[in-house]
């Protein structure tokens, strides 16, 4: 099969969260299964920082609501997967991808309508007619409607024949791409589409249109696929998802163990370990405490947090319980960035408990690896969590996760087996889970070791999940003659 995988971010060129890792490793696994898969993303400034070997493969114009805009297409290889960058200085040559701090770029709708059209034009420029176009999150959500209403619709573009099937993956339903109704002309679509497919409480909602107009909709865990059809989790789109249940599938994300494995990790001070010999983990812990300026308190449990510091991640529960957790004679190290009120809280906590708390506000991939390796426990008390990658990375490093039972956390962590869980989103139950973890760590070391070994042996690599995506594609394409 031929697949175009369209994503606003792909590791290592641009990453704000888990989507980027998925957009790198899922296509690679699909390629390994014998398919012709290519990826495409915008060429932000961050792409240049990675210094990929690129060649210019095409230049074309894209018709938008206010005229023709130029696009230059660059090609590189990302772990063997052909990857295209859409270059338009005015839209993408920016440090930040979608917003500066809390301030969204005012031209985001124009930018990503342009990107979706440029991705379709890319197929023509390269004479690559995909069987399936796989879109990811709101930045790519208008592609199905652009394809069906414009390219294969009133323009009757002969190239898109047969019309590629569209798969849309929801990585996080709380980000929907909502814009004021007066932005409608930017979409250059007949008004009927607004009424039928985009309108949502008087606004344009890009995700709603993608749910309506894609041939299949997937999300990133089975439990999340159930949850988003319910009021508290669907962020308003629950009824629309419920009505479209027949085309909704939950497929758990995989992870790339070449990047996230304690026996090969290049970022852990040159120290490695495995399930059979875990001594290296404790040497990494010592170095990590040193890096954070914390005293090396031997077997005092070191609790790690790596997160976007936003409400979704349950930071309010950490706030509510942090001092109580430290009173259990623990240390806590934090890596994250997000809402300033959380920055201020963690800075305050560090000042108040300088020998117990280490804080790094910012994005630091290498440090994330060292925390996964050097911490004993990992906190993820999310309010909701579509899949979550950090708890899966933690398992591989024998860093037992303490999570709320929601979304992908519920699908990957079993209480007392490979981590500790709680259900009700409240500080009492969260603290209870941490307390139980500290108790097992301190008083039942043989049980702790057993849980570490179980966690480290688990396999969440992409192979199985990639097969499930391929099945979705095959069901849509139906024409098995074009399948490999």
Do strands 81-87 and 165-170 pair parallel, antiparallel, or not at all (unpaired)? unpaired
Binding to ligand ADP by residue 306, rule CB under 6 A? Answer: yes
Provide the minimum distance between the beta carbon of 378 and ligand ADP in the complex, in angstroms, as a whole number. Answer: 11
Q: Residues 364, 414, 435, 454: which binds ligand ADP (CB under 6 A)?
A: 364
Which range binds ligand ADP by CB under 6 A, 194-202, 286-294, 364-372, 433-441?
A: 364-372
On whether the CB atoms of residues 349 and 318 are closer than 8 A, the answer is: no
Helix, strand or coil for residue 319?
A: helix
Q: Which residues contact 50 (CB under 8 A, 6 or more apart)?
A: 12, 13
Task: Tell me which long-range contacts 88-96 makes (C-beta under 8 A, separation of at least 24).
Answer: 88/42, 88/43, 88/114, 88/118, 91/42, 91/115, 92/42, 92/43, 92/44, 93/43, 93/44, 93/45, 94/44, 94/45, 95/44, 95/45, 95/46
Q: 42 near 171, Cβ under 8 Å?
A: no
Pick between residue 164 and residue 398 the one whose CB is nearest to ligand ADP: 398
Q: Does 337 bind ligand ADP (CB under 6 A)?
A: yes
Report if residue 236 touches ligand ADP, rule: CB under 6 A: no
Nearer to ligand ADP, 88 or 169 (CB): 169
* Least distance (Å) between residue 138 CB and ligand ADP: 14
Name 381's Cβ contacts closer than 8 Å, sequence gap at least 6.
313, 314, 317, 318, 402, 403, 404, 422, 425, 430
Q: Does 343 bind ligand ADP (CB under 6 A)?
A: no
DSSP state of 404: E
CB within 8 A of 94, min separation 6: which ones? 44, 45, 105
Beta-ladder partners of 242: none
Candidate ranges 16-24, 58-66, 97-105, 234-242; the one touching ligand ADP (CB under 6 A): 16-24
Kindly tell me which of 238 and 337 has the beta carbon lying closer to ligand ADP. 337
Q: Does 336 bind ligand ADP (CB under 6 A)?
A: yes
Q: How far is the CB of 389 from ligand ADP (least distance, A)?
A: 4
Q: Is 368 in the site for ligand ADP (CB under 6 A)?
A: yes
Q: Which of residues 128-147 bind ligand ADP (CB under 6 A)?
A: none
Cα angle 472, 478, 481 (rounded to 5 degrees) comes to: 120
156 vs 365, beta carbon nearer ligand ADP: 365
- Take residue 352 and report the two structure tokens written for it: 């108040």
The three-point CA angle 117-121-123 to 5° equals 125
- Binding range to ligand ADP, per CB under 6 A, among 112-120, 186-194, 276-284, 334-342: 334-342
Taking CB under 6 A as the criterion, the residue among 335, 373, 409, 440 binding ligand ADP is 335
User: For residue 303, what is the enclosing H or E element?
Assistant: strand 302-309
Residues that contact ligand ADP, how many (by CB under 6 A): 17
Q: Does 21 bind ligand ADP (CB under 6 A)?
A: yes
Report the nearest approach of ligand ADP to the CB of residue 369 (Å).
Answer: 8
CA angle 92, 94, 98 (to 5 degrees): 75
DSSP-derived letter for residue 146 is: I
In the bound state with ligand ADP, the residue whose beta carbon lies nearer, of 57 and 361, is 361
Tell me whether residue 387 or residue 466 sits nearer to ligand ADP (CB atom).
387
Q: How far is the CB of 231 from ligand ADP (least distance, A)?
A: 21
Contacting range for ligand ADP; rule: CB under 6 A; set: 71-79, 132-140, 186-194, 301-309: 301-309
Question: Could you say which DSSP state residue 181 is in?
Answer: G
Minimum distance from residue 74 beta carbon to ligand ADP (Å): 25
By CB under 6 A, is residue 363 in contact with ligand ADP? yes
Question: Which residues inside 378-407 make contact with ligand ADP, applying CB under 6 A?
Answer: 387-390
Binding residues for ligand ADP (CB under 6 A): 17-18, 21, 306-308, 335-337, 363-365, 368, 387-390
């Amino acid at each position: 099969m031929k697949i175009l995988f369209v994503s606003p971010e792909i590791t290592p060129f641009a990453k704000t969260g888990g989507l980027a890792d998925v957009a790198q490793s899922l296509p690679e696994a699909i390629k390994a299964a014998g398919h012709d898969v290519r990826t495409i993303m915008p060429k932000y400034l961050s792409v240049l920082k990675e210094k990929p070997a690129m060649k210019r493969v095409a230049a074309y114009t894209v018709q938008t609501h206010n005229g023709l805009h130029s696009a230059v297409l660059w090609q590189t290889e990302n772990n063997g997967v052909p990857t295209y960058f859409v270059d338009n200085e005015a839209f993408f040559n920016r440090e930040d991808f979608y917003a500066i701090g809390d301030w969204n770029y005012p031209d985001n709708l124009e930018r990503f309508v342009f990107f979706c059209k440029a991705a379709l034009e890319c197929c023509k420029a390269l004479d690559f007619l995909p069987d399936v176009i796989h879109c990811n999150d709101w930045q790519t959500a208008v592609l199905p409607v652009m394809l069906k209403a414009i390219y294969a619709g009133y323009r009757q573009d002969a190239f898109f024949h047969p019309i590629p099937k569209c798969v849309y993956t929801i990585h996080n339903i709380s980000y929907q791409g909502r814009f004021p109704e007066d932005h409608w002309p930017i979409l250059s679509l007949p008004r009927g589409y607004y009424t039928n497919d985009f309108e949502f409480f008087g606004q344009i909602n890009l995700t709603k249109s993608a749910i309506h107009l894609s041939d299949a909709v997937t999300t990133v865990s089975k439990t999340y696929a159930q949850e988003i059809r319910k009021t508290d989790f669907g962020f308003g789109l629950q009824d629309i998802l419920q009505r479209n249940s027949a085309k909704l599938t939950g497929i758990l994300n995989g992870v790339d163990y070449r990047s996230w494995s304690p026996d090969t990790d290049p970022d852990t001070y040159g120290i490695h370990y495995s399930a059979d010999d875990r001594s290296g983990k404790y040497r990494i812990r010592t170095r990590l405490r040193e890096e954070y300026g914390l005293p090396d308190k031997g077997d005092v449990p070191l609790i790690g947090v790596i997160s976007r510091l936003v409400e979704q991640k349950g930071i309010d529960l950490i706030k509510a319980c942090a001092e109580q957790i430290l009173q259990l004679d623990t240390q806590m190290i934090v890596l994250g960035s997000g809402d300033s009120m959380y920055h201020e809280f963690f800075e305050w906590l560090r000042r108040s408990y300088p020998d117990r708390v280490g804080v790094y506000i910012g994005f630091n991939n290498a440090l994330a690896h060292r925390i996964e390796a050097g911490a004993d426990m990992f906190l993820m008390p999310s309010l909701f969590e579509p899949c979550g990658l950090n708890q899966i990375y933690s398992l591989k490093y024998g860093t037992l996760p303490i999570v709320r039972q929601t979304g992908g956390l519920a699908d990957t962590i079993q209480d007392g087996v490979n981590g500790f869980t709680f259900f009700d989103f409240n500080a009492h139950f969260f603290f209870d889970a941490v307390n139980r973890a500290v108790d097992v760590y301190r008083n039942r070391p043989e049980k702790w070791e057993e849980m570490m070994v179980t966690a480290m042996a688990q396999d969440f690599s992409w192979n199985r999940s990639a097969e499930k995506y391929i099945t979705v594609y095959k069901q849509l394409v139906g024409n098995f003659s074009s399948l490999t």
